Amino acid sequence: MNCTVSIVGRPNVGKSTLFNRLVGKRKAIVHTTSGVTRDRIIGNSEWNGFKFSVVDTGGFNFSKLKNDILEREINNQILIAIKESDVVLFLVDITIGLLEEEREIAKILKKFHKTILLVVNKVDNLKKSIYYNNIDFFHLGFGYYHYISAINGSGTGELLDKLIEILKNKFSIKNENTKKKEFLPRFSVIGRPNVGKSTLINSFLEKNHHIVTTISGTTRDSLDVFYKKLGYECILVDTPGVRKKSKIKENVEFYSSMRTMKTIRNTDICLLMVDASRGWEKQDMNIFRLVKKNNKGIIILINKWDLFYDNNSCAHIQKNYELLIRKKISPFNNVPILFISAKNKYGIHHIISMADHIFKSRKNRLKTNVLNKIMLPIFKKNPPHSKKKLITIKYCTQLPSSYTPIFIFFSNFPQYIKESYKRFVENKIRYHFDFKGIPIQIFFRKK
């Protein structure tokens, strides 16, 4: 059974700093700007052999709630996190003191009947006598409270000891799901801002798990969620939109883009979403190249295709759209291209099964005799051209690899083989063998 601990509180009280300390890495963005965390961010933690999940949430903000759609969505996400939690860490800032907003948060928390730990943060610059005599926060009426400094770790050990004691009392079985999820395939939804990435995740889950607004850049962190449906299990990852470097104006947006790059490196399959109304742009090509460079499987999703439903030439538009993309991404052009509407759930039902197929196909290894039987006649008929040498390719094999297919071709003069011939070889491999959506690496070596 999976134990879940959520961190809640006002904006800028140190929730993301505490989250990063508990999970042991900088997974959540920490910034002096209030309201950086918007969605729920989930990470895994372990203390004294006990594993549990930690959820970082956006800051409760009641002042903007009436007129701000985004703030209402953030608060809704916090309520979902509290509902799904076993223990809630209510974080407050001792340097600011007790505010009316925290009284409101306390009232909300008590309605859920969860175990609450009141965590008083930022005690690192205060004398013990000062913060031990501060009794304002006791008026909130919680039985458990701890003084900590999330930024330097002071007091977090005692907090974790108490937390694990509570979790063990709640659950007699250690968390098996967390261990299992570590080995599940990771499918990341990537793309430019506002192309519908969070909407697609919500459609997969059939609930509003991630914040969706028309505001570009709503998602700022990479967000993991467990998916289990129709016989498939995986981790779905929502990511911030990737802009051109020249258009990144805020530091937070820069870090969000960097987080997406890191997510691509740590994923198995990338679901590259493209806005149908804008077409295949230069930034889409840049993201595609980044996926290929990191040797990740890929599926291209043309989203918002519902805009073309009523067009009499929809089929013709779709065909030309696909041909244009395949021409742009050649020679890695046997990539699945699906036309979908994440909002209306049109065309999304085969995405997970296709991603799972690509994930498993990446590990397939061709038998050497089969590979040579197909490829050597091709080399004999179309040998590499060079004005200096007569080049021949005598033998080829696929190397063992757990992340992407790697092929070695042995030649008498590999140094004279041009890049164009390498693309020719890749095209032939893709034509004869099933490497759909999978980057392959080709090397020529001296025989």
Q: Do both 136 and 218 map to the same domain?
A: no
pLDDT of residue 197: 87
* Domain range enclosing 315: 184-361
Instruction: Identify the residue with better confidence: 350 or 133.
Output: 350
Q: Are the C-beta atoms of residues 191 and 286 closer than 8 Å to each other?
A: no
Mean pLDDT of the 236-251 span:
58
Q: Which of 49, 81, 47, 60 is nearest to 156 (CA)?
A: 47
Q: Are the C-beta atoms of residues 242 and 283 closer than 8 Å to each other?
A: yes
Output b/e per residue, 408-424; b: 16+ Cβ within 10 A: ebbbebbebbeeebbeb
Last residue of a domain, one of 308, 339, 361: 361
Q: Is the pLDDT of residue 355 over 60?
A: yes
The tens digit of pLDDT for each residue in 357-385 reads 999 988 889 999 999 999 999 999 999 98
Q: Are the C-beta atoms of residues 192 and 284 closer than 8 Å to each other?
A: yes
Q: What is the CATH number of the domain that holds 50?
A: 3.40.50.300
Q: Do both 344 and 384 map to the same domain?
A: no
Q: Do both 356 and 376 map to the same domain?
A: no
Q: Do both 215 and 266 map to the same domain?
A: yes
Last residue of a domain, one of 346, 361, 376: 361
Q: Are the C-beta atoms of residues 156 and 122 closer than 8 Å to each other?
A: no
Residue 4 — very low, low, confident or very high, per pLDDT cuts 50/70/90? confident
The tens digit of pLDDT for each residue in 38-52 reads 455 778 888 988 888
pLDDT of residue 397: 95
Print the SS3 string covering the chain. Answer: CCCEEEEEECCCCCHHHHHHHHHCCCCCCCCCCCCCCCCCEEEEEEECCEEEEEEECCCCCCCCCCCCHHHHHHHHHHHHHHHCCCEEEEEEECCCCCCHHHHHHHHHHHHCCCEEEEEEECCCCCCHHHHHCCCHHHHHCCCEEEECCCCCCCCHHHHHHHHHHHHHHHCCCCCHHHHHHCCCCEEEEEECCCCCHHHHHHHHHCCCCCCCCCCCCCCCCCEEEEEEECCEEEEEEECCCCCCHHHCCCHHHHHHHHHHHHHHHCCCEEEEEEECCCCCCHHHHHHHHHHHHCCCEEEEEEECHHHHCCCCCHHHHHHHHHHHHHHHHCCCCCCCEEECECCCCECCCCHHHHHHHHHHHCCCCCCHHHHHHHHHHHHHHCCCCCCCCCCCEEEEEEECCCCCCEEEEEECCHHHCCHHHHHHHHHHHHHHCCCCCCCCEEEEEEC
Q: Tell me how many domains the chain contains.
A: 3
Q: Do both 293 and 344 map to the same domain?
A: yes
Place of tokens 């977090």: 156
Q: Do both 217 and 129 map to the same domain?
A: no
Q: Are the C-beta atoms of residues 270 and 188 closer than 8 Å to each other?
A: yes
Q: Do both 282 and 139 map to the same domain?
A: no
- Alpha-carbon distance of 102 to 98, in angstroms, equals 7
Mean pLDDT of the 233-244 span:
74
The tens digit of pLDDT for each residue in 42-92 reads 788 889 888 888 888 877 765 544 455 555 666 677 777 788 788 999 999
Instruction: Find the angle CA(241)-CA(301)-CA(212) to the nearest 5 degrees.
Output: 45
Residue 28 — very low, low, confident or very high, per pLDDT cuts 50/70/90? very low
Residue 249 — very low, low, confident or very high, per pLDDT cuts 50/70/90? very low
Q: What is the CATH number of the domain that holds 427?
A: 3.30.300.20
pLDDT of residue 25: 63
Share of the chain above pLDDT 90, in %: 33
Q: Do both 327 and 376 map to the same domain?
A: no
What is the number of other CB atoms lying within 10 angstroms of the CB of residue 206? 9
Share of the chain above pLDDT 70, in %: 78
The tens digit of pLDDT for each residue in 314-331 reads 888 899 999 999 999 988
Residue 447 — very low, low, confident or very high, per pLDDT cuts 50/70/90? confident
Q: Is the pLDDT of residue 221 over 80?
A: no
Instruction: Identify the residue with better confidence: 61 or 333.
Output: 333
Residue 180 — very low, low, confident or very high, per pLDDT cuts 50/70/90? low
Q: Do both 134 and 205 map to the same domain?
A: no
Q: Do both 8 and 113 map to the same domain?
A: yes
The tens digit of pLDDT for each residue in 100-135 reads 888 888 888 888 888 999 999 988 766 555 555 566
Last residue of a domain, one of 305, 334, 361: 361
- Alpha-carbon distance of 73 to 10, in angstroms, equals 15
Q: Do both 203 and 339 map to the same domain?
A: yes
pLDDT of residue 171: 66
Q: Do both 297 and 339 map to the same domain?
A: yes
Residue 428 — very low, low, confident or very high, per pLDDT cuts 50/70/90? very high
Residue 29 — very low, low, confident or very high, per pLDDT cuts 50/70/90? very low
